Structure formats: structure tokens, C-alpha cells
């Protein structure tokens, strides 16, 4: 079995919340995560966008950056980026081999009671890769929750929580307060914690977690002085003498993410990592986050790709389609069985001219026919068809007017995007 095959085989261990394995693993590796300053970002939605803005700003400020995000769109190396590009396969393979060897040794001598999960090992690989690449700062996105997430072994200079919504209830809880408490678990003693646009219930839970940890809370509210929205893309002016900046990432929801990123970058500077206004502006105007409200030009039309995999993400997508003036529009969609399909479909039914239900080659995926059957009563009067093949589902959607949306599970939109780009599609 190759290193890559062995790593993917760890997915069979599923999700395990807890830090014992991870603490043992990073200690056995010599604590590579302590070799550089880190920034820690959690949230139900928006954490990837905030990470992308913050990383781009830090790179513009002259730092050699690391960026750890999950899941990947198509290739596992995408989870680990150095200076804005996925890590070279040879470095990833070398780090993976080393981490897996350390796992074997720790299992053999009893330091590890059980085999680490896929996410624990990939997180350790990222820490090791950043150490070997001698990054000046690393931006680390929380995978699931926060308190027991594998990334929560770092000692960051600053943290942020972007948003709280219902998602992963089986692991995190069924109320906003419960989920917020889990995400608030990234709070560290005397480490600034920036909070984004949270409901009163979620805010109270996060503030309680921060107080228990002894972490000062800084609110991103009030960062933005003026916002203008034109065809779904925002131009904002932040307080403190910032010039107007057109956000690179589309959608009204990116205004709140930009506010969180700006406040976080200002805090990072206060904590001893100089950034500067010019670099912060660059982070907002030049961030790239593929498959999030990203238009692709294909031979047979224009396709909007968006990883709207939960109700809040679907609401943001629906709002964008209205504000961009492209609704109603055909929607190709795939979803996992553990997701709130009804909560995703209802907002999209307001903007869809038809649905094409598709599927993912994954055990958790809804089959296309079953998903179509779920969609039909949720979208009365809207045509619904099923097409298991992702490329053919998109073609069927584009056949109705030359513009369409592909949305839902990242396991659907990620590989789809990669195959389309390989076939000549370009981001517009």
C-alpha cells in the first residue's frame, strides 16, 4: 500500500472528537506546530473565506504563509498551501510518510492507544510541511467544531469565530448555543478572540467560553463604515482611514466575513506581526476561494459553482442569485444523507427554475433519484429531474438558457470543478 493509499484508508476510522491522539502525535513529531506563529479560525460558514482573506493579506505583507483548510476540492494536497499554492506533491508525500512512520512507532510502543483518524494525520502533515517550508505564519482553519478539533492543539497569536449555524448536529449539538460552545472551545488564555456576526444566543455561549478560558473578546461589528452592493459583489469602506475596496469574493455574506478578517488582521498586528493597511486591502481585493460563488465559462454556457452544503450556505447562495440578477436559474445539486436537505432546498426553490438532482461517488451520498424525490415536495411547481453523472447533470441544467448553478456537497462541486477546468473551463 502506498503512502497515499494508506492515508486515504484512514477515512474508515471516521470522525473522532478529542485531543489525546493529536497531542501525542505532535509531541512525537517534535511539535512542528510551535515553529511558527499561527492564526486559528472557526465557524459554521465563512471560516474558509476569512482564512483566504487573512492569508492573502499576510502574504501581501511579506510573510511566507501556510494555509490549512478542509476538505479539499479534488486533490488532498489542496488542504496544505504554502504562499498561496497547494504544497508540492513530493513534499506532501515526504511529510505524510514521516507522520505515518511516527504513528507506527507510537502505536508499537504504546504512546498511541488507537490509530489516529484521517483528519488528525492530515493536520499533523500540514504542521510538518509548514515547518519544513519555514513559513513565517500559518493560518489554520478548524475542521469540525473547535473544542475537540484536531487543530486545537496549536497556541495561536489570535483566533476568530466567523458565524454559528446549525450543522453537524450529530457531533456538535442541536441548538445554536451548544454549537457555539463547541466552537468557542478554541478560546485560549490571554489570546484575542475576534467574533463575527453571531446571534445573541450564539454570542452569549461564545463569550461564556472565552471568559472561562480567560480570552479577551473583540467584536468585528462596527468595522465597516459603508457598504455598496452591485450585482451581488460588495464594495466596502472600513473605519480607520481605509480606502473603498471591492471584495474579490462575491455575495452579501462576504461583507461580514471581510469585517471579521479586517478585525483579525488588526489584532494580529497588535500582537506583534506587522501587516499594514495596504496589505489588508490586498487581502480583501485579491483573495481567492475556489468553488464559492465562482463563475466558470464553459463551451456551452456559464456555470456558478458553490459549495452550499447547509441551510445557511444555501440562503447565502439564493441571496446572491437574486442580487446578481440571474434568478430564476437551473440548479444542479447533490447532497449527503447526513445533511439538512430540506433546509438547503427551501431557499434554493425561491431562485431555481428547475432542479437537476445528481450524486457523489461516496457512501454517504443521496442517490440522484432519492434526492429528486426529496426535492419535489419542497419545490412545488418546479421541474425536478435526476441525473447521477455530475457532468451530464450540469449539461442538462445549462440546456435551459445557457446559465446554471452547481451547488451542494463539496464532494460534488470540487471534483466537478476540477474536471471542468481540465476540459478548458475558465474562472470569470
339 touches 409 (CB < 8 A): yes
Q: Is the pLDDT of residue 151 over 80?
A: yes
- Give tens-digit pLDDT for 241-284: 999 999 999 999 999 999 999 999 999 999 999 999 999 999 99
Question: Helix 253-270 crosses helix 277-286 at what angle (to 10 degrees)?
Answer: 150
User: What residue segments make up the domains of the chain, in order of their start?
Assistant: 3-286, 294-427
Residue 419 has pLDDT above 70, yes or no: yes
The average pLDDT across 176-197 equals 94
Give CA separation, 117 vs 2, 14, 243, 337, 338, in Å: 17, 7, 45, 21, 19
Measured over the CA atoms of residue 45, residue 49, residue 52 and residue 58, the dihedral's sign is negative
C-alpha 124/C-alpha 383 separation (Å) is 46
Measured between alpha carbons, how far is 43 from 153 in angstroms, rounded to an integer?
17
Looking at residue 184, its pLDDT comes to 95
Burial class (CB in 10 A: 0-12, 13-18, 19+), 314: buried
Give the strand pairing for 38-42 and 137-141.
parallel
pTM given for the model: 0.93
* Cell digits of residue 212: 472561562
348 CB-near residues (< 8 Å, 6+ apart): 308, 314, 317, 318, 331, 333, 355, 379, 407
What pLDDT does residue 83 have? 98
> For 336, which DSSP code?
B
**Selection from 48, 238, 250 nearest residue 160 by Cα:** 48
Check: CB of residue 360 under 8 Å from CB of residue 409.
yes
Per-residue model confidence as pLDDT tens digits over 313-360: 899 999 999 999 999 999 999 999 988 999 999 999 999 999 999 999
Degrees, nearest 5: CA angle 39-41-45: 155
* pLDDT value of position 7: 78
pLDDT score at 169: 45
- Calculate mean pLDDT across residues 95-119: 94
Task: Identify the CATH number of the domain defined by range 294-427.
Answer: 3.90.190.20
The pLDDT, as a whole number, for residue 185 is 95
Residue 212 has pLDDT above 60, yes or no: yes
Phi, psi of 351 (to 5 degrees): -125, -5
Contact between 289 and 306 under an 8 Å Cβ cutoff? The reply is no
Question: Would the pLDDT of 2 be above 80?
Answer: no
Round the average pLDDT of the chain to a whole number and report it.
Answer: 93
Question: What confidence score (pLDDT) does residue 15 get?
Answer: 59
Q: pLDDT category, 14, cuts 50, 70, 90? A: low
In this predicted structure, what is the pLDDT of residue 242? 97
153 exposure class (CB count in 10 Å sphere: 0-12, 13-18, 19+): buried
Q: What is the CB neighbour count within 10 angstroms for residue 289?
A: 20
Q: What are phi and psi of 360, to 5 degrees?
A: -120, 145
3-286, CATH topology level: 3.40.1190
pLDDT surpassing 80 at residue 18: no
Q: Which three cell numbers stand for residue 230?
A: 452591485
Tell whether the model's pLDDT for residue 171 goes beyond 50. no
pLDDT for the residue 168: 46
Amino acid at each position: 500500500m502506498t503512502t497515499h493509499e494508506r492515508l486515504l484508508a484512514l477515512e474508515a476510522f471516521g470522525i473522532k472528537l478529542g485531543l489525546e491522539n493529536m497531542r501525542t502525535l505532535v509531541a512525537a513529531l517534535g511539535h512542528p506546530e510551535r515553529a511558527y506563529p499561527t492564526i486559528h479560525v472557526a465557524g459554521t460558514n465563512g471560516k474558509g473565506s476569512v482564512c483566504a482573506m487573512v492569508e492573502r493579506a499576510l502574504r501581501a505583507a511579506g510573510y511566507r504563509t501556510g494555509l490549512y483548510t478542509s476538505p479539499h476540492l479534488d486533490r488532498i494536497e489542496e488542504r496544505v498551501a504554502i504562499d498561496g499554492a497547494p504544497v508540492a506533491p513530493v513534499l506532501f508525500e515526504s511529510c505524510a510518510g514521516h507522520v505515518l512512520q511516527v504513528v507506527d512507532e507510537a502505536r508499537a510502543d504504546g504512546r498511541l492507544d488507537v490509530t489516529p483518524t484521517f483528519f488528525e494525520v492530515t493536520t499533523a502533515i500540514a504542521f510538518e510541511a509548514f515547518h519544513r517550508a519555514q513559513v513565517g505564519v500559518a493560518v489554520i482553519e478548524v475542521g469540525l467544531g473547535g473544542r475537540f478539533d484536531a487543530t486545537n492543539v496549536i497556541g495561536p497569536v489570535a483566533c476568530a469565530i466567523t458565524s454559528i449555524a446549525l450543522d453537524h448536529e450529530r457531533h456538535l449539538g442541536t441548538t445554536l448555543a451548544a454549537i457555539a460552545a463547541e466552537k468557542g472551545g478554541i478560546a485560549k488564555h490571554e489570546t484575542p478572540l475576534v467574533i463575527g456576526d453571531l446571534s445573541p444566543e450564539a454570542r452569549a455561549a461564545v463569550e461564556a467560553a472565552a471568559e472561562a478560558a480567560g480570552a479577551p473578546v473583540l467584536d468585528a461589528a462596527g468595522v465597516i463604515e459603508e457598504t455598496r452592493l452591485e450585482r451581488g459583489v460588495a464594495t466596502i469602506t472600513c473605519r480607520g482611514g481605509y480606502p473603498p475596496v471591492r471584495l474579490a469574493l462575491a455575495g452579501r455574506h462576504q461583507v461580514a466575513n471581510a469585517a471579521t478578517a479586517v478585525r483579525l488582521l488588526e489584532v494580529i498586528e497588535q500582537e506583534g506581526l506587522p501587516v499594514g493597511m495596504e496589505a489588508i486591502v490586498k487581502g480583501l481585493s485579491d483573495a481567492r476561494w475556489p468553488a464559492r460563488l465562482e463563475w466558470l465559462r464553459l463551451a456551452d454556457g456559464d456555470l456558478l459553482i458553490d459549495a452550499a452544503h447547509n441551510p445557511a450556505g444555501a440562503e447565502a447562495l439564493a441571496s446572491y442569485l437574486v442580487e446578481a440578477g440571474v434568478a430564476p436559474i437551473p440548479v444542479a445539486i447533490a447532497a449527503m444523507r447526513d445533511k439538512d436537505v430540506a433546509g438547503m432546498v427551501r431557499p434554493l426553490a425561491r431562485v431555481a427554475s428547475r432542479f437537476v438532482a445528481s450524486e457523489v461517488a461516496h457512501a454517504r451520498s443521496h442517490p440522484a433519484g432519492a434526492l429528486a424525490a426529496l426535492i419535489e415536495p419542497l419545490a412545488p411547481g418546479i421541474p425536478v429531474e435526476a441525473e447521477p453523472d455530475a457532468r451530464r447533470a450540469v449539461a442538462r441544467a445549462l440546456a435551459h438558457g445557457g446559465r446554471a448553478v452547481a451547488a451542494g456537497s463539496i464532494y460534488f462541486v470540487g471534483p466537478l470543478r476540477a474536471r471542468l477546468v481540465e476540459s478548458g473551463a475558465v474562472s470569470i
